[in-house]
Chain A
Amino acid sequence: MLEFHNVTKRYDNGKSAVNNLNLKIEKGEFICFIGPSGCGKTTTMKMVNRLIDITDGAILVDGKDIKDQDPVALRRSIGYVIQQIGLMPHMTIEENIVLVGTLLKWTKEKKEERARELLKLVDLPEEYLDKYPHELSGGQQQRIGVLRALAANPPLILMDEPFGALDPITRDSLQEEFKKLQRELNKTIVFVTHDMDEAIKLADRIVIMRDGEIVQVDTPDEILRNPANEFVEEFLGKERLIQGRPDVTTVGQIMNSAPVTVQTGTTLKSAISTMRDKRVDSLLITDSDNVLKGYLDIEAINLNYKKANKVEEVMETEIYSVFQDSLLRDTVHKILRRGAQYVPVVDEDRRLVGIVTRATLATLVYDTIWGDGTELEEIIAIAE
């Protein structure tokens, strides 16, 4: 799909940004280029759609050398998303989405239909088509930015730190959405980032670069397990010790399957005695079918004891949960980065099946540091 053959970029002052780079990317692959700033990752990406010219070597898209193609036509056939989003402020969302269609002289009907179709992919209502970019939030704008890249259905999409300017929560949800979208649409993605979490979460293969050269190309798991050298190790960061256990990959494997819960209808009085008995500061609340409804912490009881009687009156219903087969590394990321104390685990019907707490993670880290002798059952036993 996309091949780099001895690609080199040298600037006029003799400094080279990319050095003799060789890489082959298969159709449908999600590739993340990552590295410290100035490592040449963005330059490499921009050479693909000829926003930057190659000094030496060749880049082939579908077997055709990009140098033999008209740059304008080439760019129209490749999706492009940038960090600053770059929506046209004077055009409506619809006009923005089908910008490439306009350049390719599509009919009005075709453009309208395509815009509607695309907007559905990101669950935005159709009224948005007539809005202007400044009326949208940053996250919504970048969703449109992604749709714009998809408009002409290009097989290859280049993304330059597309989620870098968004706040962490919006970024998380956009990453998830986009990964899902990519699996559905089977696009080849070249994604530049400096955020290792993002790369690990999204990529099929990660290309780690330094000083214009490739240091390591591998799947996220392989990079976590066998970093090529110290540079990669350092770049991965310390917290990923947890992720170094290749046999533990899903939440279900480490969760505590007997979280402390109370049912809706329980009085606060009885909830507080449950807390005391089980020595916890927070309770998960389920209904009679064991469906997760919310949570209640000691602070809420403390504040509302006089005012409320039943747990459902004061419980917090905005609760983040994961599925049993969610990847552990994503959950860990959530707990460590967002400072959550625990994450409840649910099945498809939102029935509570377990919980992952910081203590669970401690066990896992302990295990990584002190050797891999501990069996999974033991971890679970300790967690319980």
Chain B
Amino acid sequence: MMNFFTVHGNELIIKTWEHLYISVAAILLGVVVAIPLGILLSRVPNFADKFISFIGILQTIPSLAILAFFIPFLGVGKVPAILALFFYSLLPILRNTYIGVREVDKSVIEAGKGMGMSHLQSIIKVELPMAIPVIMAGVRLSTVYLIGWATLAAFIGGGGLGDFIFDGLNLYQPSLIIAGTVPATVLALIADRFLAFLEKRLTPEGLQNSYEAV
């Protein structure tokens, strides 16, 4: 054990950092794209259902295949890895944003409109704050999955903890596989806890009773 750390300790820290970097970049991209898109979709519910089903179908493509597909266009390295993972983060966030915004009490929106809220004010002051718990649940789900999937980035030279796992598989060294797996799991757990905390902080106080962060 100690021996392993003296040999691989530095590398482990670098790989964990890479892993985190890839995952977080993908998630942030996903949040930036999927939340506005989800809000837009909530304005056109007929189209939204079809669109979300379509994204759902795209997501059934195996992730390894997606990574492979990206190589001819984007080459290898971190960028295609991040883009591929971003692609997977979209659906949960998009769907939860759409549902969260759609499920905001219509009478509250009507009251807001009747009071003289513009469209944008209604979104920022009413719909988003009330949908936060549902949106954040989507972000958490995405994040946990993505940290797991980010091990595949190693496959196209993106680095991260996947490197350990692939090396371990190639060299028949279980200790390397464990060195890749355990930190990834820990990262996922920490990220989940952190987001749960964030969710609680972001949820407006008046809604805390109805939606308890789990």
Interface residue ranges, A against B (CB under 8 Å): 49, 51, 72-77, 80, 82, 84-92, 99-100, 103, 132-134, 145, 148, 158
Contacts and interface: CB of A to CB of B under 8 A. Distances in A.
A74 B113 CA distance: 11
Contacts of B121: 103
A85 B206 contact: no
Given A74-B116, A88-B126, 20 more contacts: A51-B113, A51-B114, A72-B117, A75-B113, A75-B116, A76-B116, A80-B114, A85-B107, A86-B107, A87-B111, A88-B112, A88-B206, A89-B130, A92-B206, A103-B115, A132-B205, A134-B206, A134-B210, A145-B111, A158-B114
A89 B130 CA distance: 8
A82 B110 CA distance: 9
A134 B111 contact: no
A158 B108 CA distance: 16
A89 B206 contact: yes
A132 B206 CA distance: 6
Contacts of A87: 108, 111
Determine the interface band of chain B, counting residues with CB < 8 A from chain A. 20 to 34
A243 B114 CA distance: 37
A82 B116 CA distance: 14
Main secondary structure of the interface of B (DSSP, over half): helix
B46 interface: no
Contacts of B205: 90, 132
B207 interface: yes
Interface string B182-202: 000000000000000000000
B204 A90 contact: yes
The 4 closest A-B pairs by CB, nearest first: A86-B111, A76-B116, A84-B107, A90-B204
A92 B116 CA distance: 19
Contact of B110 (A86, A89, A91, A145): A86
Among A80, A90, A145, A158: residue with most chain B CB under 10 A? A90
B118 interface: yes
B206 A75 contact: no
A51 B110 CA distance: 9
A90 B105 CA distance: 12
A133 B110 contact: no
B115 A80 contact: yes
15 contacts: A51-B113, A72-B116, A76-B116, A77-B116, A80-B114, A80-B115, A82-B111, A85-B111, A88-B111, A88-B206, A89-B130, A90-B129, A99-B112, A103-B121, A134-B210
Contacts of B116: 72-77, 100, 103
A100 B115 CA distance: 6
A49 B114 contact: yes
Given A51-B113, A80-B111, A82-B111, A90 B118 contact: no
Interface in B116-148: 116-118, 121, 125-126, 129-130
A157 to B, nearest CB: 11
Contacts of A103: 115-117, 121
Nearest to A90: B204
Contacts of B114: 49, 51, 75, 80, 82, 158
